[in-house]
Structure formats: C-alpha cells, structure tokens
Structure 1
C-alpha cells in the first residue's frame, strides 16, 4: 500500500510523533494551520469515515480519547480547540487515511472556509 500515513504509523517515514499506542498514532502536521496542529490517525488503514466498519469503532473512540489527552498536554484544552475530520474530496480530504486534525493555540477563524 502506498499510503503516507500508514508509512508514518509503521515508522518507515519520519515524523514528529507526540503519541502512539497499539491503535493510534499522533504527530505534528508538517504544514500547520494553527499554532497547535496535530494529526491523529488509526494504525489500521481506513480511507475515510465512510469506510469505518463495526470492528473499527473501538479505534475511533481511542482517537477521541487521545485527542482529549493531547489537548490537555498541548495546553489548548482550557482555551479551546477544534477537532476536524474531512471526509471525501469535496471536504478537503487530501490523504485518504482516516484522520483528525487537532487545531488550537489561537483564536480560530470560521469552521467552514471556502478556500
């Protein structure tokens, strides 16, 4: 499989990881859209939210647990943060491996940008 996020999860492509366990990997985005911009991915390759299967829900719940932990660890839990999942081309999904963006560290603009 030629998925950049799978390669990051496997450790074959370097990244600035900030969390990993047997289900989830989190790392800083290389093109941050906010002062704090982390990506949280399941280790298992799932293309998008549309492809989540019954057996994947435990991993999806773990992503949210990790997001809550990282928000605290990165100092944005109290001031506020955004947790974003883009699903499909029209949403802006570029890497087709299910993931969430954790964004914070400043006052964020509108959630529905047309850029």
Structure 2
C-alpha cells in the first residue's frame, strides 16, 4: 500500500516473512522479548482483533502452529 500509515505495513515491508497464507503473515519482531518472538498479523486492515472474520482468526492460528 502506497503511503500507508499502518504500523504493521511499515514494519512488515522490511522484514523477512517466515510464514504466510492467504489471510495472514508472520515475521520476526524487531524488538523481541525472547528468542524467536514473532508477529502474526492479518493482511486485511482492521481496527482490532475483534473485527477479524472467523476465517482470518483461523488463518492466524494456522500460522501460529506453523512457526510455533
């Protein structure tokens, strides 16, 4: 997205993607609290977790199992 103000868009464009599916993406956190700390975010912009569809939640859970 051009000129996106989303913190995750700005973070993820310079990060190595460690796992991805149609609805979500995972990458290592730039400020990890422990080794391997990563972020899993939806590809669609939402205001908060509760705005995600059940499919997006499932996609994020799938990535958690892949990288966990």
Q: TM-score, normalised by structure 2?
A: 0.80
**In structure 1, how many angstroms separate the alpha carbons of the residues matched to 2:7 and 2:15?**
11
What is the SS of the residue equivalent to 1:41? Answer: strand
What is the count of residue pairs matched by the alignment?
64
User: Which residue in the other structure is 2:30 paired with?
Assistant: 30
Q: Does 1:63 align with 2:60?
A: yes
Bigger-Rg structure (1/2): 1
**TM-score, normalised on structure 1?**
0.50
Query: Does 2:46 align with 1:46?
Result: yes
Unaligned runs of 5+ in 1: 72-115
Which structure shows the higher helix fraction? 2
Q: CA RMSD in A?
A: 1.5
Any idea what the Cα deviations from partners look like across 1:10-63, whole Å, max 9, x if unmatched?
Answer: xxx2112101222111000000001110100110011212333xxx11011110
